[in-house]
Amino acid sequence: MDELDLLTRLAVALAIGLLVGLERGWRLRDTPEGQRAAGLRTFAITGLLGGTAGLLTHSFDNLLFLGVTFLGFAAAFTAFHWLESREERRNSVTGVISGLLVFLLGAYATLGELRVAVAVAVAATLLLALRDPLHDWLRQLQWVEIRAVLILATMSFLALPVLPNRTIDPWGVLNPAEIWFLAIMIAAISFGGYVAVRLLGEKRGVIVAAMAGGLASSTATTLTLSRLARQQPKAGPLLAAGVLIAGMVMGLRVVLVAGLLNRALLMTLAMPALAALLVLGLASALLLLRDDQGNSVETDSPPLALSNPLELGTALKLALFIAIVLVGAELLRRFVGDAGLLIGAAASGIADVDAITIAMARLGQQQPDSLHLAAGAILLAVAVNTVAKSVMASSVGGGRLGIYVGGPSVLAVLAGGAAYWFL
């Protein structure tokens, strides 16, 4: 290492200490001076100490020096924190762990990859800064949700490696390991929406709940908001905007899933999706502006009835549905042709758009000449799903809600179709 490289690595070690020390010092800013075991300056010096120890280790070419230095620092740092905790009668090991981590990251910054050291420092600082939100989130977790995550994680890390990673059907489309992985991916994306509804739905109102619900299940969100519109007709514009926003999020989710599985599809889907989303976004904004009734307490807290997508039964049903759609799409393509594939996509879109999105993304990947057909099938499934939710809103929430939702939905479908046709 030349002199410039040495100084750069020491500067990164110092910056890591300053980053973590900034969070620690800000959190303890009200503590009188001299009564804190470690603050901004201490953590900055700790990072610099680790960096210096790393440089000396490199010079001596002896890792034992670094180990002995770390043990000495750990003993001194822990002792001061123990004295502080005994004086203040509080038990927390976070400060000690943070100091040890800063020392090690400072040493690694001079011995290893700078980007890795900085990334770990940023992640650690975020975890420290998000203490209160993380504790609030933990208090809201229910055992059934923890159990679902544990079961699915066990199934993923134990079952996924032993599942056959090859096709097992005569048509060459059913790969058990791939289907299970796809089911896990969709369930994980949906779980993000489920968690958001649990955390934000009852606190931030219809709009946030609709956005999170669209990520988890736009159909369930539409049904819930439509029932609420039947009970509170004056809140129709607000609830219709929520339905449209859930549809927007569903469209974004489809593009995300398709893009993750087949990047080439992203360019084909981008313009039609953007055209449809602009229509839905403009319509929802106009409905929100029209809603001047002063929302009641009930509309501020829509109880979205979403099932946990990480329940083992839900994941197995999703995997089975993906398998059925994959086989059905392949059989339609072989024996009926492109028209049959589009009909199958439309039929699948009535119930779910994720499975047909996966099937078409794979088709476009395996047969690049079918890319536009795959994109058309995905857009058709989304269009049918959008229209089906408009019918649901009308039948459950009443004719007025049906007009609020159905009009923009049809315009969005036409805009997306026009954009696809021009492309």
DSSP codes joined into one string, 107-134: HHHHHS-HHHHHHHHHHHHHHHHTHHHH
Cα distance between the two ends of the chain: 54
14-72 per-position pLDDT tens digit: 999 999 888 877 766 555 555 454 578 888 999 999 999 999 998 888 888 999 999 99
119 pLDDT band (50/70/90 cuts)? very high
299 pLDDT band (50/70/90 cuts)? very low
Whether the CB-CB separation of 404 and 240 falls below 8 Å is answered with yes
What does pLDDT average to over the chain?
80
Tokens of 129: 């800064």
Higher pLDDT, 397 or 335: 397
The span from the CA of 243 to the CA of 304, in Å, is 12
pLDDT (average), residues 153-160: 74
Cβ atoms < 10 Å from Cβ of 170: 8
Tokens of 46: 């700790």
Most confident segment among 111-120, 169-178, 306-315: 111-120
Residue 369 gets which letter from DSSP?
A: G
How would DSSP label each residue in 242-266?
Answer: HHHHHHHHHHHHHHHHHHHH-HHHH
Residue appearing with tokens 């953007």 = 274
Q: At what angle do helices 371-397 and 263-290 cross, to 10 degrees?
A: 20
CA distances, 184 to each of 90, 163, 355 (Å): 41, 14, 12
pLDDT (average), residues 281-289: 89
340-373 per-position pLDDT tens digit: 888 888 888 887 788 888 888 877 777 777 788 8
- Nearest CA to 66 among 112, 20, 1? 112
The span from the CA of 423 to the CA of 272, in Å, is 9
Cβ atoms < 10 Å from Cβ of 363: 23
The span from the CA of 27 to the CA of 37, in Å, is 13
Q: Whole-prediction pTM value?
A: 0.61
Element (H, E) at 303: none
344, with CB counted inside 10 A (0-12, 13-18, 19+), is buried
In this prediction, residue 301 carries a pLDDT of 45
**Predicted confidence (pLDDT) at residue 412 exceeds the cutoff of 90:** yes
Element (H, E) at 231: helix 206-231
3-state secondary structure of 377: helix
